Each structure stands twice: as structure tokens, then as C-alpha cells.
């Protein structure tokens, strides 16, 4: 774990990453996860696998946003100001079929604010040879 953490720190520093959305973190809920110059917002699974996190450079004004009502989707969320407007950022992981999350995201996207979501939604479509 320590080697992967150093590799991530190096990547973020080398590329000047301000906000990093992560999924399938496999972080242990009982252990702290800290990176120099970043605040970590995370949602861990109580069992092995999955989990999401958002790393935000400390100089960026932001706050954590709750993501209520999720049963299939795992997500961590923050809100930042971008060009004077609030924007929600969501790191997501869906381990099951995307058809199961249905209305879980409806409330999230229905608030009128722009949303940036990145993650592994296990999306499948015949156009990219995925059934």
C-alpha cells in the first residue's frame, strides 16, 4: 500500500492535479488515508472491495456533500465554486448492473447545479462489444 500511495502522490504532484476522483479504493475503514497537501473525502465499504474517494488540494475551498439514499451506488461527493458558480463533484462506483441504480442518481442530478461525475459504473453496451 505504501508504494502505491507514493506513486499516487508523485502523479498528483507531477501533473498538478487539484481534484482527483477515485473509485475501487479498497481502503480499510479502520485506517486513515493522508496525502501531503490534500484533503481526502471517502466512502468505504464495510467489507473488502469497492469504496470511493475524492482528493482535493488543500488550497481549494470546498466542502463535503452528503449523498443520501444510495443502495447500489457507492459515492463520495464535494461541492466547489467554479467561475463563481457551485459545482458538485461525485466519485462513483457501481459493482452491480447499472439498471439497478435507476432513481438513485435522479435526486443527485435534479438539484439544478452542474455535476461532474467520474467513476466505474460498469456500463455495458453492444456498440463497444460489451453485453
Q: Say what the pLDDT of residue 93 is.
A: 87
Q: Decide if 54 contacts 42 (C-beta within 8 A).
A: yes
Q: Which CATH number fits domain 18-128: 3.40.190.10, 3.40.50.150, 3.40.50.720, 3.60.10.10?
A: 3.60.10.10
pTM here? 0.84
Q: Say what the pLDDT of residue 13 is.
A: 92
Q: Decide if 78 contacts 101 (C-beta within 8 A).
A: no
Classified as helix, coil or strand, 7 is: helix
**Owner of C-alpha cell 453485453:** 131
Task: Tell me the three cell numbers of residue 28.
Answer: 480499510
Q: Say what the pLDDT of residue 44 is.
A: 87
Q: Say what the pLDDT of residue 52 is.
A: 92
Quote the mean pLDDT of the chain.
Answer: 84
pLDDT digits (tens, 9 = 90+) for 45-101: 877 677 899 999 999 999 999 887 777 788 899 999 999 999 999 998 887 655 555
Amino acid at each position: 500500500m505504501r508504494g502505491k500511495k507514493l506513486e499516487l502522490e508523485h502523479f498528483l504532484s507531477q501533473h498538478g492535479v487539484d481534484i482527483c476522483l477515485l473509485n475501487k479504493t479498497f481502503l480499510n475503514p479502520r485506517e486513515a488515508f493522508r496525502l501531503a497537501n490534500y484533503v481526502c473525502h471517502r466512502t468505504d465499504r464495510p467489507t473488502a472491495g469497492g469504496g470511493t474517494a475524492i482528493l482535493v488540494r488543500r488550497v481549494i475551498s470546498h466542502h463535503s456533500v452528503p449523498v443520501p439514499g444510495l443502495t447500489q451506488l457507492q459515492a463520495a461527493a464535494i461541492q466547489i465554486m467554479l467561475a463563481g458558480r457551485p459545482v458538485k463533484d461525485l466519485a462513483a462506483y457501481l459493482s452491480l448492473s447499472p439498471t439497478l441504480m435507476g432513481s438513485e442518481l435522479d435526486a443527485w442530478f435534479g438539484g439544478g447545479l452542474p455535476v461532474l461525475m467520474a467513476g466505474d459504473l460498469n456500463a455495458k453496451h453492444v456498440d463497444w462489444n460489451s453485453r
